[in-house]
Amino acid sequence: MIKQAKVRATAHTNIALIKYWGKADVSLNIPTTSSLSMTLDKFYTTTELSFDASGQDRLILNGEGTDATRVKGFLDLVRQKTGQDFPGLLIDSQNHVPTAAGLASSASSFAALTGALVRLLDLPENDREMSRIARIGSGSASRSIFGNFAIWNKGHDDASSYAEPFYDEDIGLSMIVAEISQKEKKMSSTRGMQLAQKAPSYGAWVEKSARQLKEMKSAVQAHDIEQIGLIAQDNALGMHEQNRLCPEPFDYFIDETRQVLAFTEACYRSGLLAFATMDAGPNVKIITDKASETELLARFKNEFPNMAFEIAHAGGGLSYD
Ligand code: DP6
């Protein structure tokens, strides 16, 4: 039964502190590792969903008609899985995330779309179910249903692979996002992780990731930002290492990336809390705490006067208006 003609949902992006970088099942996005993330307040997607008069699925992104192939593939899978053959949808999304530059706009996009879809179709608004549906759109979207810290349990099939809240409290962690490049990334995360999985050292990274997840859980519960930063940095650099070591090597790092990473380390050595994490793009997210963010940001702005920086904190989960 159709409850409403139009639904608006908002979801925030999230940054993984323990990364998802590999799929055990490509079509369902079942990952090779469990991952842990913090949802951010600053970057989000708002999606307005309604039925489209044309009967086709259509996507409007930031006011412009856009290729709907990926979203259509997702909606068709949802039609199949829910057994609901709903007609074509008009997806009107505003993305407050620099799209495709490694800030994971797919996470907030598919989480917002899932939230809107569930309400539009009058499906049960169950967080676990929504996380599973969002996962099919984009793995990282499974975590964006939730605020603060979430864990995506890798599971082994569609039913067992979903995210859930881990620690629903703002522990004072700050992320300074260094916007090194807003250009469309060269290598999608979907393709990048499939290549990286072929690295001879990939199995060792997966094993280490399981140990790091345990350590990260304790560090978050202890509000220990230094430990969080050290583990997250090692996990992320290890992920990028697989990209360079696989049979068809590639690299998201550019010169400015390396400069920002080196400066982050110099700041840490000088006694400030500063650690780096990176996703499928050249941008660096610098992990620090609220007490250090002003001084650290000033140092970065001074060192990189032409670079844009934004500070993000913990954000909330899926919401409607
Ligand atoms: C590096 O969720 O974008 O940001 O499931 O293929 O859509 P697909 O991949 P995606 O990958 C995100 C990878 C990452 C790490 C992470 O967010 O855990």
Residue to mutate (ligand 1; options 37, 151, 158, 189; most atoms within 8 A of CB): 189
For residue 289, the CA-to-ligand 1 centroid distance in Å is: 25
Res 101: pLDDT: 45
Residue to mutate (ligand 1; options 279, 283, 285; most atoms within 8 A of CB): 279
Q: How far apart are CA 152 and CA 269, in angstroms?
A: 33
Residue 181 has pLDDT above 90, yes or no: no
* Alpha-carbon distances, residue 60 vs 74, 136, 144, 209 (angstroms): 16, 20, 21, 37
Residue 185 has pLDDT above 80, yes or no: no
pTM for this structure? 0.96
CATH homologous superfamily for 173-312? Answer: GHMP kinase, C-terminal domain (3.30.70.890)
Residue nearest to atom 7 of ligand 1 (CA): 138
The verdict on the CB of residue 257 being under 6 Å from ligand 1 is no
- pLDDT-derived band at 105 (thresholds 50, 70, 90) equals confident
Res 273: pLDDT: 98
* Percentage helix, strand, coil for the chain under 3-state DSSP, each rounded to 5: 35, 25, 35
The verdict on the CB of residue 106 being under 6 Å from ligand 1 is yes
Q: How many CB atoms lie within 10 A of CB 267?
A: 21
ipTM above 0.90, yes or no: yes
Q: How far apart are CA 253 and CA 283, in angstroms?
A: 8
Residue 184 has pLDDT above 80, yes or no: no
Eight-class DSSP state of 185? P
Eight-class DSSP state of 140? G
Res 236: pLDDT: 98
For residue 320, the CA-to-ligand 1 centroid distance in Å is: 24
| pLDDT tens digits along 115-153 | 999 999 999 999 999 999 999 999 999 999 999 999 999
Res 97: pLDDT: 84
Residue 207 has pLDDT above 60, yes or no: yes
Residue 111 has pLDDT above 60, yes or no: yes
The verdict on the CB of residue 29 being under 6 Å from ligand 1 is yes
Res 3: pLDDT: 53
Pick the residue with more confidence: 37 or 181?
37
For CATH 3.30.70.890, list the domain ranges present in the chain: 173-312
The verdict on the CB of residue 35 being under 6 Å from ligand 1 is yes
Residue nearest to atom 6 of ligand 1 (CA): 190
Residues 23 and 31 sit within 8 Å (Cβ to Cβ): yes
Atom of ligand 1 nearest to the CA of 137: 7
For residue 138, the CA-to-ligand 1 centroid distance in Å is: 7
Res 2: pLDDT: 53
| pLDDT tens digits along 303-318 | 999 999 999 999 999 9
Exposure pattern of 297-321 as b/e (b: 16+ CB <10 Å)? bebbeeebeebeebbbbbbbbbeee
DSSP states of 74-85 as a string?
Answer: HHHHHHHHH---
| pLDDT tens digits along 220-243 | 999 999 999 999 999 999 999 999
Residue 98 has pLDDT above 80, yes or no: no
For CATH 3.30.230.10, list the domain ranges present in the chain: 6-169
Note the CATH architecture for domain 6-169: 2-Layer Sandwich (3.30)
- Counting other chains too, the contacts that 70-79 makes at CB distance below 8 Å and 24 or more residues apart are 71/113, 71/137, 74/110, 74/113, 74/136, 74/137, 75/117, 77/27, 77/136, 78/117, 78/133, 78/136
Res 259: pLDDT: 98
